[in-house]
Chains A and B, each alone.
Chain A
């Protein structure tokens, strides 16, 4: 069973508000991923880190989204100005090898 911890489990924000969620990867896993899962079960890769460095990120995360994985602190994903289309389940995964182990997700609802 995965030991990836994500908080909060549920987040409700108004449009234009900031939304921040956190992830503690499994101990010893150097790579962390963030994905967005929408209500149609479509997954979108957002960003990944190896140790504290960004490896890949998509364009949307370069604008309203920001993320970091500081040493000895939880990783975080923040949406600077939430939009209705950001409503989704945000999944954090960590990896030591090829397998990615997922947390329970943070369900963001933007009203």
Chain B
């Protein structure tokens, strides 16, 4: 079955500390992985896409096919990083459509 697992519901860190939000997936095929973020009172927005291999707001994520993981990392957390983070997999496909399969999300809380 296609599935995305985010084992941590809440992650609390101090400002300046490293952050790693875990994401594991189950998918038979070549997946496309994403991280979406939702700041307080804002809509869900794309943070990272694995095929882009870029760093956004200091965050990076590497797709590890051997471990079926796509963990999100940032070396020094900032208070403005506090938000809900969702890992998502592009799985089911129908012609051009690629519906997303989301994990349950991890709340990141960064305090000073």
Tell whether A and B belong to one assembly. Answer: no
Which B residues fall within an 8 A CB radius of A?
none
